[in-house]
Amino acid sequence: MAAYAERHYGLRTHVLEHPRVIVEHVTVSRTFHPVFSEFARDVPDRELHELPGLCSHFVIDTDGTIYQLVPLCLVCRHTVGLNYTAIRIEHVGLSDREIMHTPKELAASVALTLWLMQRFDIQLRNVIGHNESLTSPFHRELVWRLRCQTHGDWIRADMNIYRRRLVALVVGGSSSGLSPRPARAPAERGWPGSRVGRWSTSTEAVKLAAEVDKVPTF
């Protein structure tokens, strides 16, 4: 991974330090198992033909189960231009619109994302969909042919709804009560389980709500 990071970002490291972005993805599958099998193979990807293979920090199943595949201290390959500073969350399903209508999965996703925002002090505007990657201020790519490369999952319209769900969770001060199930690596310490950290205060709710208006729309 260090060689990949140096080639694409000029940073020879495999360590994910001070992540500033959370990228939401869609697996384009009906179940978790083929997703895990694909990531476990660690072979050159079909699109860019590079190693290491693709990976994800978290995968959320349709029943709301959260699987953690990679420790949060390691860089994963998932979003061109942002891997060096981004956490990846995959959602089992065929489209972001489908996930938006799968209540348990969406609730788990919002709770996990909010906890990550709190833990790493990530701003709401930097919780993005894969399709929004090119508009991120943290986007950087040294390989010129990849500088405009992105994907179609989690378009801005759906992410605007998702970001407002984050604000609603803060205002409500509740969570799904789920905890991550380690599928490959031990779960990170500090996962709040049945609560969402300290985000339930009215002051933090106001701050996060104000962030919604700062997310650019196109």
Model confidence band, residue 101 (pLDDT cutoffs 50, 70, 90): very high
With a CB cutoff of 8 Å and minimum separation 6, the contacts of 121 are: none
The yes-or-no verdict on residue 190 having pLDDT over 80 is no
**What are the pLDDT digits (tens) for 200-218?**
333 444 455 455 545 443 3
Predicted TM-score of the model (pTM): 0.78
Q: What does pLDDT average to over the chain?
A: 80
Q: Give percent above pLDDT 90 in the chain.
A: 50
**What are the pLDDT digits (tens) for 55-79?**
899 999 999 999 999 999 999 988 8
Q: What b-and-e string marks burial along 116-154, b requiring 16 or more CB atoms within 10 Å of the CB?
A: bbbbbebebbbbbbbbbbeebeebebeeeeeeeebeebb
**Cα 109 → chain centroid:** 9
The predicted model gives 1-18 an average pLDDT of 80
Measured CA to CA, the distance from residue 149 to residue 200 in angstroms comes to 37
Model confidence band, residue 169 (pLDDT cutoffs 50, 70, 90): confident
Domains located in the chain, CATH noted: 2-212 (3.40.80.10)
